[in-house]
Amino acid sequence: MPPAAVDRSVLPEPGFLIGAEKITTHDGEVYEHRYAATGEVTYAVPLAGQQEVDAAVAAARAALPAWKRMPGNERRRLMLAFAAAVRASEHLAPIITVENAYPLAFTPYFTNWVAELFEFNAGYADKIGGEVVATFPGPAFDYTLDEPYGVVAVIVPWNGPFVSFGQWLAPALAAGNTIVIKPPEMAPYTCLALAELAVEVGFPPGVINVVPGGAVAGTALTSHRDVNKICFTGSGGTASRIVSASAPNLTPTAFELGGKSARIVFADADLDEAARRTLLGTGQACIAGSRVLVEAPVYDRLVEMSAALAAQVPMGDPFDPGTFVGPVISQGHADRILGFVDRAKEAGTGRLVTGGERLGGELADGYFLAPTIFADVDNSAEIAQEEIFGPVTAFMRFETEEEAVAIANDSEYGLAAHLETNDLRRAHRMARDLDAGTVWVNGFVDLPVGAPFGGVKRSGYGRQGGIWGIREFVQAKNVWMPL
Ligand code: NAD
């Protein structure tokens, strides 16, 4: 069965949420958003320009005094009400599926995660205060006040705008900041739907403003003098442009960027589980274990097992509950991914074991790519160094633990690492030695909301999650008086 035609009625009407107003028309640029499973246009989405960004920043500025002075327990109650509404909502999961064709079998996991992030951070809203500082030599009273930055600009990517909304906004709001969030043109819907839900449960207008758009809106926002902090999830290239745009104002930034993470599989691992996680842990995910390093004695077996799984993975209609893998986001992205595949084949830097093509037949109208495995890849090859952000994995063989660490760390990125081993000491040794913000051992991608998440090297700086996430959004003011 080909994927069912897109049901536009699940989507919020595209537009901008600025202060109390939802604006659905403008005379600026539009973007034809397409449902990736069928290629159908959902809406011609209006894209924010300078005017909308200016209005959104002004609305966030106007809402700031009342929001930051709102008693913490009231902010907590609002955040909990929002989390409850997200949990109860049935309309959000299908929006994610239409927005970026993520299979509906998994999207409720994301809505629950967003709710969890708000519940967790709501608990900080009434506990952020300050400290008393020891003074010497003279008698004095010195204390700190943890104050919000002010207006926070949040820029999110198309692969997970929904999760990024929760990861950045929950701590920022708990700490008393107001928000202008810019979802990308390729995924403009879920942030709007979430912000509208926040207004429904009682968030004051202007606390969360949404301006879907592309580079024009992004530049307007990141060069804006009245923005006090920029939080960005996306690629390193865009992060560099944001640094340039924000340099004149010295606006502080926090960056969650790309990765080329290693999955390191030892001979003592549970190979069935390792193969399953190898397959599921790739694709359009920043934390994808897209380089698979396998200890020599089990290398051929794991390549074979992974290829067999790749050939069977249920792909197709994202609304079918049995579908595990959907299409990639767009025609342009499919072409980009296949470009990596073609160049690797031409260069002969590895052996194509399976995949490497676009799927036809019933799936021909969507942007479906076969899960692709290259074996015997050298770590210096383009497919081992560049973030492909698609279903392509590069397998490499290693002999020793030291060699595995050296290969894994030979990357400009450092977002995550995935270890598959049953040797406890080795797991802890390697967790210490790997250049990565997160190390998963014998597990998939569970990320407790209380844990820090972020990268090292070109994967970014700053942390989301737990108390680390709160610290991104408060600045200590010091108060001193002699006694
Ligand atoms: P991207 O950098 O192209 O775009 C990200 C966002 O930046 C979009 O909203 C886009 O409209 C905006 N943007 C584009 N040009 C801009 C400019 N000049 N100024 C300001 N904003 C601008 O990234 P993408 O293709 O949307 O997303 C994929 C990337 O995101 C991958 O590198 C992936 O690894 C990364 N990512 C990282 C994480 C993480 O948590 N570390 C999570 C998801 C995705």
pLDDT tens, residue by residue, 407-428? 999 999 999 999 999 999 999 9
For residue 205, what pLDDT is reported?
98
Q: Show which residues are catalytic.
A: 256
> How do residues 441-450 score in pLDDT, each as one tens digit?
998 778 899 9
**pTM of the predicted model over 0.85:** yes
CA dist., res. 175 & res. 169, Å (int):
10
CA of 279 to the centre of ligand 1 (A): 24
Q: Domains plus CATH for the chain?
A: 8-257+458-482 (3.40.605.10), 262-448 (3.40.309.10)
CA dist., res. 274 & res. 293, Å (int):
11
For 39-67, what is the mean pLDDT?
A: 98
Which atom of ligand 1 approaches the CA of 156 most closely?
A: 9
For residue 471, what pLDDT is reported?
98
For 110-139, what is the mean pLDDT?
A: 96
pLDDT at 84 over 90: yes
CA of 93 to the centre of ligand 1 (A): 22
For 38-51, what is the mean pLDDT?
A: 98
Judge residue 50's burial from the number of C-beta atoms within 10 Å of its C-beta, 0-12 exposed, 13-18 middle, 19 or more buried.
middle
pLDDT at 9 over 90: yes
Using most ligand atoms within 8 A of CB, pick from 163, 165, 238 the residue to mutate for ligand 1.
238
Which residue's CA is minimally distant from atom 40 of ligand 1? 256
> Which residues 6+ apart lie within 8 Å of 393 measured at CB?
278, 282, 289, 290, 291, 292, 306, 372, 373, 374
> Which residues 6+ apart lie within 8 Å of 454 measured at CB?
256, 437, 460, 461, 462, 463, 464, 468
Whether residue 227 has its Cβ less than 6 Å from ligand 1: no
CA dist., res. 330 & res. 35, Å (int):
9
Per-residue pLDDT band at 26 (split at 50, 70, 90) = confident
Whether residue 336 has its Cβ less than 6 Å from ligand 1: no
Whether residue 253 has its Cβ less than 6 Å from ligand 1: no
- Residue 406, number of CB atoms within 10 A of its CB: 13
For residue 282, what pLDDT is reported?
83
Whether residue 281 has its Cβ less than 6 Å from ligand 1: no
For 205-209, what is the mean pLDDT?
A: 98
Which atom of ligand 1 approaches the CA of 221 most closely?
A: 20
CA of 449 to the centre of ligand 1 (A): 22
Whether residue 283 has its Cβ less than 6 Å from ligand 1: no
For residue 25, what pLDDT is reported?
87
Whether residue 233 has its Cβ less than 6 Å from ligand 1: yes
Whether residue 286 has its Cβ less than 6 Å from ligand 1: yes
Whether residue 209 has its Cβ less than 6 Å from ligand 1: no
Using most ligand atoms within 8 A of CB, pick from 181, 219, 235 the residue to mutate for ligand 1.
235
Whether residue 160 has its Cβ less than 6 Å from ligand 1: yes
**pLDDT over 90 percentage in the chain:** 96
For 295-305, what is the mean pLDDT?
A: 98
CA of 247 to the centre of ligand 1 (A): 19
Residue 115: both structure tokens together = 């709710």
Place of tokens 């709102």: 70
> How do residues 316-354 score in pLDDT, each as one tens digit?
999 999 999 999 999 999 999 999 999 999 999 899 999
Place of tokens 């109650």: 77
CA of 233 to the centre of ligand 1 (A): 5
**Which carries the bigger pLDDT value, residue 281 or residue 126?**
126
Per-residue pLDDT band at 45 (split at 50, 70, 90) = very high
Which atom of ligand 1 approaches the CA of 238 most closely?
A: 2
Which residue's CA is minimally distant from atom 9 of ligand 1? 184
Whether residue 449 has its Cβ less than 6 Å from ligand 1: no
Q: Which amino acid is at 167?
A: Q
Burial pattern 205-228, b for ≥16 Cβ within 10 A else e, equals: ebbbbbbbbbeebbbbbbbbeebb
For residue 116, what pLDDT is reported?
98
For residue 275, what pLDDT is reported?
96
For 262-273, what is the mean pLDDT?
A: 97
CA of 117 to the centre of ligand 1 (A): 21
Strand ranges for 6-123 from DSSP E: 16-18, 21-23, 30-34, 41-46
**pLDDT over 70 percentage in the chain:** 100
Q: Do the beta carbons of residue 149 and residue 475 sit within 8 Å?
A: yes
